[in-house]
């Protein structure tokens, strides 16, 4: 399994789309993520800004979730996370979507082992960032080795 230097579970930043897919689609291609964070295979990192983004996205009308359902989903995620306080920093050079800067800042400032995203705007920066950037399938393979 991918391990940190301290031999604890990897500390990982998941973008909002990964989290939402893992929470909402129990038979979907990212359902394994939910099982893995709940079993302690990795520790998701969150900041106030990324948690607020998740709460906002879960309230989208297209998901048709009432307040109780949103709270239940958050209860399947937030207790398993480590909260890190980020500070504002300039966006990385070449970042196409400014909304992605919060995930990169969290990963870099918290010293995450991996930033997991399927977002091409983040993936294109993988060679220039100081943190490993992987799409979900590659992250799963990394965890299994």
**Residue 39 to residues 79, 91, 114, 118, Cα–Cα distance (Å):** 12, 33, 18, 23
11-144: CATH homologous superfamily? 5'-nuclease (3.40.50.1010)
The confidence score (pLDDT) of residue 94 equals: 85
Q: Using one digit for the tens of pLDDT, what is the confidence trace for 8-36?
A: 999 999 999 999 999 999 899 999 999 99
Does the pLDDT at position 93 exceed 90?
A: no
Portion of the chain with pLDDT greater than 70, in percent: 96
Does the pLDDT at position 122 exceed 90?
A: yes
Domain chopping of the chain, boundaries: 11-144
The model's confidence at residue 89, banded by pLDDT at 50, 70 and 90, is confident
User: Quick check: helix, strand or coil at residue 83?
Assistant: strand
Give the angle 36-58-101 at the CA atoms, nearest 5°. Answer: 75
Beta-sheet strand order (sheet of 11-14): 82-83, 43-46, 11-14, 114-116, 132-134
Please tell me the distance from the alpha carbon of residue 121 to that of residue 96, in angstroms, as a whole number: 6
The tokens describing 11, both together, are 């500390």
- Structure pTM? 0.93
Please tell me the distance from the alpha carbon of residue 96 to that of residue 71, in angstroms, as a whole number: 32
Mean pLDDT of the chain: 93
Please tell me the distance from the alpha carbon of residue 20 to that of residue 3, in angstroms, as a whole number: 25
Q: Using one digit for the tens of pLDDT, what is the confidence trace for 41-59?
A: 999 999 999 999 999 999 9
The confidence score (pLDDT) of residue 88 equals: 86
């Amino acid at each position: 399994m991918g391990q940190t230097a301290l031999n604890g579970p990897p500390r990982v930043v998941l973008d909002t789309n990964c989290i939402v897919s893992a929470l909402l689609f129990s038979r979907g291609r990212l359902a394994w993520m939910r099982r893995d964070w709940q079993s302690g295979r990795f520790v998701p990192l969150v900041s106030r800004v990324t948690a607020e983004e998740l709460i906002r996205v879960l309230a989208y009308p297209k998901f048709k979730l009432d307040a109780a359902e949103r709270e239940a989903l958050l209860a399947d995620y937030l207790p398993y996370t480590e909260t890190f306080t980020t500070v504002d920093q300039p966006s990385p050079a070449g970042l196409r979507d400014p909304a992605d800067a919060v995930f990169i800042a969290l990963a870099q400032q918290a010293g995450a082992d991996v930033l997991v995203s399927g977002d091409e705007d983040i993936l294109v920066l993988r060679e220039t960032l100081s943190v490993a950037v992987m799409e979900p399938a590659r992250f799963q393979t990394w965890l299994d080795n």
